[in-house]
Amino acid sequence: DELINAMDEQGVDMSVIFGFPWKKADTFKRENDYILESVHKYPKRLIGLCCFDIFNSQAVSETERCLDAGLRGVGELALYQSGIDEESLKRLDPVMEICRDRKYPILIHTNEPIGHLYPGKTPNTLLQIYTLVRRFPENVIVLAHWGGGIFFYNLLKKEVKESLKNVFFDTAASPFLYDPAIYAIAAKLIGVDKILFGTDFPLLKPARYFKELEKGGLSSDEINAVCGGNAEKIWLL
């Protein structure tokens, strides 16, 4: 109810919600049950994702359970200790297959590989992020937090554009990390249709992003695409 009230106050029609990738199965199951309860209570306001630790033995069965029950994708999956290493990709493989078969997106935590440390920053590298999207080219993948900046390499003449064809980038935590100019720069490099409005709520409220979008150099139509139009296409709303 707190989220719905905040959405009403901030002028947000719908939200994609998910929890934290807890290590213990009983914890992430309770969390996913809460997400399910919420989306069933507010079906016209909320879309839920299934979240868990991919190294837990119940990750695959939890994915199937949650999607069967009404969640519409997986995420945000995060690899706080290992980064996106080879073992992580092996663990992701069956989850990716389920999402691919059901045509649901999967949201992966990524972050910039340089700069200061902060809670939640992972040791991922750009090569790891690139290997991830190359490994699963048919999956719809959302890279959180601007994908660690990998979209810059869309300027390369070979292969990167093709590798990122099904990849989207969310804006979560952008006001903490990037100049507002990133919106127009990213739109030019990858297309505004690849940018999804993410907030990290309740850490940051949507209003903070609305102000940044106004400063970011996008047109009103482009802002509308970022603030919902692009997500509508992914979830076929």
Average pLDDT over residues 227-234: 97
pLDDT in tens, 212-222: 999 999 999 99
Give how far Cα 225 sits from Cα of 113, 175, 187, 194, 211, Å: 28, 19, 11, 9, 16
Q: What is the pLDDT of residue 48?
A: 99
Average pLDDT over residues 158-172: 96
Q: What is the pLDDT of residue 225?
A: 98
Q: What is the pLDDT of residue 30?
A: 99
Tokens 């016209």 belong to which residue? Answer: 44
Q: Which fold has domain 2-230?
A: TIM Barrel (3.20.20)
Q: What is the pLDDT of residue 56?
A: 98
Average pLDDT over residues 161-166: 96
What element of type H or E holds 141? strand 141-143
Confidence band for 1, pLDDT divided at 50, 70 and 90: confident
Q: What is the pLDDT of residue 236?
A: 87
Q: What is the percentage of the chain residues whose pLDDT exceeds 90? A: 96
How far is 64 from 226, CA to CA, in rounded Å? Answer: 30
Q: What is the pLDDT of residue 82?
A: 87
Does residue 153 carry a pLDDT above 80? yes
The closest of 45, 121, 55, 107 to 76, measured between CA atoms, is: 107
pTM of the predicted structure, to 2 decimals = 0.97
Confidence band for 79, pLDDT divided at 50, 70 and 90: very high
pLDDT in tens, 168-204: 999 999 999 999 999 999 999 999 999 999 999 999 9
Does residue 237 carry a pLDDT above 80? no
Q: What is the pLDDT of residue 72?
A: 99
Does residue 17 carry a pLDDT above 80? yes
How many degrees, rounded to 5, is the angle at CA 224 between CA 223 and CA 225? Answer: 90
**Average per-residue pLDDT for the chain:** 96
Angle between helices 86-102 and 126-135 (to 10 degrees): 40
pLDDT in tens, 98-112: 999 999 999 999 999
Confidence band for 81, pLDDT divided at 50, 70 and 90: confident
